[in-house]
Structure 1
Amino acid sequence: MRFEKLDVWKRASRLSCEIYKVTESVKNWGFKDQITRSGLSVPSNIAEGEERETAKEKIRFLYYAKGSLGELVTQLYIGIEIGYLEKHSSMEMVKEAKELAKILGTLIKNKESQIKEDNADYKI
């Protein structure tokens, strides 16, 4: 399946766009750079993984995307706490990031199960 058809990729892309929008007025370049990078990393890693040849490679990039969501949630919480980000909209993004992490976790488990099933087919 092409990554563009994946709902999780579409949602992660929208979340990344939203992060760029809400951080537009943030003056702290280091914070702004870090949070936009972690947000951009999620759909990028999903796409890169889907373009890989083997299931193990695909899984590895899904794990990267899931890890980036953890980074993003942390940065959103910090941004709220230090007053860089508006609380309500940022908490909505936290909620979306956590939902995406659950979806990626399910995708990873399904792909890992498929590998185990495929490997079991070859055992004598």
Structure 2
Amino acid sequence: MAIKKFEDVIVWQKAQEFAVAIYSEFTNCKDYGFRDQITRAVVSISNNIAEGFERGTNADFKRFLYFAVSSNSEVRSMLYLAEKLSYLGIPQSLILIEKSNEISKMLYGLIKSITKP
């Protein structure tokens, strides 16, 4: 059965949960530039999945999934920096980095599933 709406895409759901986790973690961060950048990037993950899905073609969907991969990579890079800047402790950064890696694997799996052989 084909997925009818982007809300049913599991990686979109995971990306939304990831965004909530990032927002929760950085809500009190006084480095406003850092906080703005990481929250914009994390929101971009699920938004690109949704936008690509609604385009209606596999080619467009695939292109937007790659945008989501890029945004996810940006968030993960910033998580490493957050740890180095002591904005996050090591245990929390590892948890969030693992969530990012899981989303990345799911995105690549979805890209592979819609790519014609």
Q: Normalising to structure 2: TM-score of the pair?
A: 0.93
Does the alignment pair 1:87 with 2:90? Answer: yes
User: Which residue of the other structure, out of 57, 61, 65, is the alignment partner of 2:64?
Assistant: 61
List runs of 5+ in structure 1 lacking aligned partners.
117-124
Number of the residue aligned with 1:99: 102
Number of the residue aligned with 2:17: 14
1:86 to partner: Cα distance: 2.7
1:52 to partner: Cα distance: 0.6
Does the alignment pair 1:43 with 2:43? Answer: no
Give identity over the alignment, percent. 37
1:4 to partner: Cα distance: 0.6
1:106 to partner: Cα distance: 1.1
User: Which residue of the other structure, out of 34, 37, 42, is the alignment partner of 2:37?
Assistant: 34
* Cα RMSD, aligned residues only: 1.0
Counterpart of 1:65, as a letter, is: A
Counterpart of 2:91, as a letter, is: H
Number of the residue aligned with 1:122: none
List runs of 5+ in structure 2 lacking aligned partners.
none
Name the CA distance, whole Å, in 1 between partners of 2:29 and 2:49. Answer: 27
SS in 2 for 1:8: helix
1:85 to partner: Cα distance: 1.8
1:90 to partner: Cα distance: 2.0
**Where in structure 1 do 4 or more consecutive aligned residues deviate above 6 Å?**
none
Number of the residue aligned with 2:112: 109
Q: Aligned pair count?
A: 114
Counterpart of 2:28, as a letter, is: S
1:9 to partner: Cα distance: 0.6
1:87 to partner: Cα distance: 2.2
SS in 2 for 1:48: helix
